[in-house]
Structure 1
């Protein structure tokens, strides 16, 4: 089940990156590169921060094949994929919950402190999307709107709390992932965003 959910999340991230590339009118190579970056970027950042060399995503060919195949499918059938926006958002939320909590658990297994594991877990969940936006010369979405990084951080904190209390890792990770997914979906449904500066407060006073 964990592998299936991981593949679903990877496909959702790859589809998200590929759709963004299609909207930016990139060619097929650009669509595949952006799709792979979105799907695998967070995991690669995690492994680099934890000193895992080479990163797992670069030595496990199924991840590369699934990500590239998803990107090519989006390139070929992007009008249909765009109409399935709600399904893609749900799958993306599932991927966020799984990657954030699994990244946190991996960091804890390698002996990192709890606060470090939280940051690494959050980065695992949001890193690919941030890289996608940077490649498109945009301010990363997680820094300007939507409850996305906060949902990932919430799941990471639950994993660390369970680890600190010596609760079983599997059930705790599953609950944390579910909470992350629920928080993300509620944010989409209710259109929740992190607070923004008041109008006019970002202007320099002369």
Structure 2
């Protein structure tokens, strides 16, 4: 199995990053590839999960080991495949997810694409008390402030969309002017936020 890929980041696209390792280009599927945009032509180390099936071998990439571990646990849940697992990891911090599971917050979990009530309940049954993470300092405050994604877009996703737009050449001033509209859009997918941001920037 391939635990990580270390080499020069040579390409970032909407769905994947490509890392050159001694002349071999590894295509790695990531939830938010543009997170790595500022590392183009630099050496990177990307934690990977090597998913093998009958018709393909796919490398899924993550920013850190915690995200990779969460992904590996998610895809053991009935109804959660790699695509859904990657989407969940890309939309929320590990801490927030653990809190939602431990609090049995089905409403919060059903905000993820492809997750209905049945799947949310299955995640809680399979994962509660079994995720190997300790909630970091400030967990009490996080529990009190945890809100539905239906009411506010995850700040992490907003930040990643802004970084992607910045990599396309837009200035801090331009991006600051559209940030409130991105936050109020209700969109929870980074790609959708990027498209909305581009539309808003073109109009301005």
Normalised by the size of structure 2, how large is the TM-score? 0.29
Higher relative contact order (CA 8 A, sep 6+): 1
- Larger fraction in strand: 2
